Homo-oligomer: A and B are copies of this chain.
Amino acid sequence: MGFGKSFVILGSGNVGWHLSLALKRKGYRPLQVYSPTAANARKLAARLNCGYTTNTARVVPDASWYLIAVSDNAIARVAAARPLRNKRLVHTAAGVPLDVLSEFTASCGVLYPLQTFSKSREISFSDIPLFIEGSDNQTTIALGKMAATLSLQVRSSTYRQRIALHVAAVFCCNFVNHFIARAKEVVKKEKISFNVFKPLLNETIYKALKYNPIDIQTGPARRGDSNTIKRHLSYLKDDPDSAKLYRFVSSSIFDYYSNK
């Protein structure tokens, strides 16, 4: 199989979209897009200037790399397709072990990008940490070489480390976004533009990254300021879901620092 620079992208979701476009920009040659949804496959193929298929049996057999960027549950099904037998397969999921691919080929790997993607938002791959794992030395080296053309932040990682990264990413991205969404709803009721929170959010992230977030925790729960907490819960009495979140996370913070 060698260290060729052609690839097929299987999956046209957020990760497949950005990963394949980034590879093309770096000189890798897209041969084909596979997606079960024709409209998505066609749109990405047009961007990559290559063919597409909605049928795994029609995947072209001569690519150097087969990049599987479908949902976790679909990876094994896609990898089982006849044209992919004994090809170099790579999936992009944090939560799927390499074994899922190794039953179909001797050369396989994982390339997990630690980032949140949306199709509408252009993003530079060069800053994105890429976590790789290979079935064998040769594949790991080839995969590392490909990853290094995309990003300055390439690291080896085990399956267990990827799970930890994914758990932490849920905390840092999905949960953080949920709290920002709730905050926006709170101030919207008072006819306050959410733009006023921009400096606070930026400063919060800046400080959490610069210092140890455990050392710089502030706020009523950290201080054990029960008057303020009561006042906030009373304000939230018409929004029981936000009140429940407020109470739960405040207790978590209070307990965390009480037990230290």
Contacts and interface: CB of A to CB of B under 8 A. Distances in A.
Nearest to A127: B199
B161 A171 contact: no
A173 B219 contact: yes
A190 to B, nearest CB: 4
Contacts of A173: 200-201, 203-204, 218-219
A200 B169 contact: yes
A187 B165 CA distance: 6
Given A164-B187, A203-B123, A244 B253 contact: no
Interface of A: 72-73, 95, 114-116, 118, 121, 123, 127-129, 153, 155, 157, 160-161, 163-187, 189-190, 192, 194-205, 207-209, 212-214, 216-222, 225, 227-228, 231-232, 235-236, 241, 244-246, 248-250, 252-253, 255-256
Given A167-B246, A241-B252, 13 more contacts: A114-B199, A116-B203, A116-B207, A116-B218, A164-B187, A170-B250, A173-B201, A174-B253, A175-B179, A176-B180, A179-B179, A241-B255, A245-B248
